[in-house]
Amino acid sequence: MENGRSHARAARAYNGGQTGQYCFLPMKNVPHTVTDAAIATIRERIESSMYPVGSLLPAQRQLSEELAISRASLREALSTLEALGMLHIRPGKGVYVSSAQASNAHPWRFADQASLPDTYQMRFALEGFVARLAAHSIGDADIDWLDDNLDSLHGALMESALEEAAQLDFAFHMRIVSLAGNAAIESILRGSADIMKESQRLPFYRRELVLSTYHEHAVIIEALKARDGEKAGKAIEGHIVNAAQRAGVHFPIPHK
């Protein structure tokens, strides 16, 4: 019982503390420290051209006040963004925007089979559907398995065991796929196992958002526990969009 309660708390925290409401906010990720929040905010401003390439960022004193963080936390955030290739810190002269996108230190290894954006779009199209089906067939033993998987994922992420985390992530998603009972979809996704796992590994390299997958999985589990297919589908779609963003991929979501 405690596992279920702790996951429910994680899910509520991820959704602003509102029980029973599941956020689907495309292109939004949830940071977990003030430094993470600063990294996410500055990165969004760079990517949206609020801080254009070549421009000088506001003075650190002004920026720290604006973001409501200490100068030390701000410097840590700026150093992280410099390591990603988005900023250039020039001592005595300020911080300049050097790129609107993070450098890709982890190239996509399956470009000859499918692009990374295509892979996330495939997952978005298929996994939201199967989650809606799975919500109506899931049993208590399945929920216990998902809870245990979530605990193991948290441990792997805290230890920076990214390979293990990617395996657990893949197992989580495929368990939901198998519950849907659609053999064709399961065959497609299992046949793309290596591509799937790589698409799940890449988001973990955003260290400031490394626990986001854990929190998003908690939201999915809560929707499945409620046997609410629509919320489960939206939760997993939101998770895939967010994971894509963490991997540096943006793709349009068609709206009805």
Q: How confident is the model at residue 31 (pLDDT cuts 50, 70, 90)?
A: low
The answer to whether 135 and 229 are in contact (CB under 8 A) is yes
Q: Summarize the confidence of residues 21-27 as an average pLDDT.
A: 37
Which position has the higher pLDDT, 141 or 255? Answer: 141
* C-alpha neighbours within 13 Å on the C-beta side of residue 218: 23
- Tokens 């509102």 sit on residue: 18
Domain 34-97 class in CATH: mainly alpha
Q: Is the confidence at residue 9, as pLDDT, over 50? A: no
Q: How confident is the model at residue 255 (pLDDT cuts 50, 70, 90)?
A: low
pLDDT, tens only, 183-239? 999 999 999 999 999 999 888 877 767 899 999 999 999 999 999 999 999 999 999
Q: Which fold has domain 2-30+114-246?
A: Four Helix Bundle (Hemerythrin (Met), subunit A) (1.20.120)
pLDDT, tens only, 138-176? 999 999 999 999 999 999 999 989 889 999 999 999 999
The answer to whether 90 and 78 are in contact (CB under 8 A) is no
Q: Summarize the confidence of residues 81-94 as an average pLDDT.
A: 84
Looking at residue 182, its pLDDT comes to: 96
Q: Is the confidence at residue 252, as pLDDT, over 80? A: no
d(CA 199, CA 123): 10
Looking at residue 119, its pLDDT comes to: 92
Which position has the higher pLDDT, 241 or 155? Answer: 155
Q: Is the confidence at residue 15, as pLDDT, over 70? A: no
Tokens matching residue 107: 């190239």
d(CA 24, CA 171): 23
Q: Summarize the confidence of residues 10-17 as an average pLDDT.
A: 47
d(CA 20, CA 102): 35
Give the closest residue to 41 by CA, choosing from 16, 71, 78: 78
Question: What are the residue ranges spanned by the domains of the chain?
Answer: 2-30+114-246, 34-97
